[in-house]
């Protein structure tokens, strides 16, 4: 059972104490505003309630867009099937305060050095801070000099492990690319 709430308080902030069987619907524009104004309250709300964000979560599976790639990346740790449970930080101690930061990183390596054949070496260190690793996704994008996407792979940060790792590359429509991969060295440091 779902019920779309039209209370003025809900329009201002998603803080209302709702019944467990109710669901609120928020526009993408409104959620973006909530994130900018008070992201922690939005996280707290979604710890105890379900919410629907429109139209962003209505994905078009016939397109090869970044939101579609991120959605498919979210399911990498369960083999691309089933339901992904909320991480523990969203289900434990509902009354406990948590911090939330929305950040879309644009960390890019420099131009590659072309070796023999199709072998490209970057020899770049890319460092970035992840504020909420339980919710973060990491995208590897390979683009040509004209900034056209050649290959990509997205996976949850919680699936990243330290050491040398092979990242299998996919087309922009998330189809496997034979013999295309990245060899990366992952180093995770505490806060």
pLDDT in tens, 14-50: 555 567 778 888 888 898 898 899 888 888 888 888 8
Domain with CATH 2.60.40.150 in the chain: 113-186
Cβ neighbour number for residue 156 with a 10 Å cutoff: 20
Q: Is 124 helix (H, G, I), strand (E, B) or coil?
A: coil
Whether the pTM exceeds 0.75: the reply is no
Task: State the Cα angle at 28 between 27 and 31, rounded to 5°.
Answer: 90
**Dihedral (Cα; 29, 52, 139, 150), 10-degree rounding:** -80
113-186 folds as: Immunoglobulin-like (2.60.40)
pLDDT, tens digit, 9 for 90 and up, residues 112-159: 655 544 677 778 888 888 888 888 899 999 888 888 999 999 999 988
Q: How confident is the model at residue 105 (pLDDT cuts 50, 70, 90)?
A: low
């Amino acid at each position: 059972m779902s019920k779309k709430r039209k209370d003025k308080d809900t329009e201002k902030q998603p803080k209302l104490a709702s019944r467990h069987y109710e669901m609120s619907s928020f526009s993408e524009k409104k959620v973006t505003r909530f994130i900018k104004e008070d992201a922690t309250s939005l996280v707290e709300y979604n710890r105890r309630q379900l919410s629907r964000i429109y139209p962003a979560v209505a994905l078009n599976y016939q397109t090869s867009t970044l939101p579609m790639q991120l959605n498919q990346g979210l399911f990498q740790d369960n083999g691309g099937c089933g339901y992904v449970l909320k991480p523990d930080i969203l289900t434990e101690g509902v009354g406990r305060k948590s911090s939330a930061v929305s950040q879309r990183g644009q960390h890019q390596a420099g131009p590659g050095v072309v070796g023999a054949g199709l072998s490209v070496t970057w020899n770049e260190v890319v460092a970035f801070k992840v504020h909420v690793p339980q919710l973060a996704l990491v995208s590897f994008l390979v683009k040509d000099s004209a900034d056209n996407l050649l290959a990509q792979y997205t996976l949850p940060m919680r699936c990243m492990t330290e050491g040398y790792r092979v990242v299998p590359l996919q087309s922009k429509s998330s189809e496997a690319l034979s013999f295309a991969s990245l060899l990366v060295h992952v180093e995770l440091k505490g806060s």
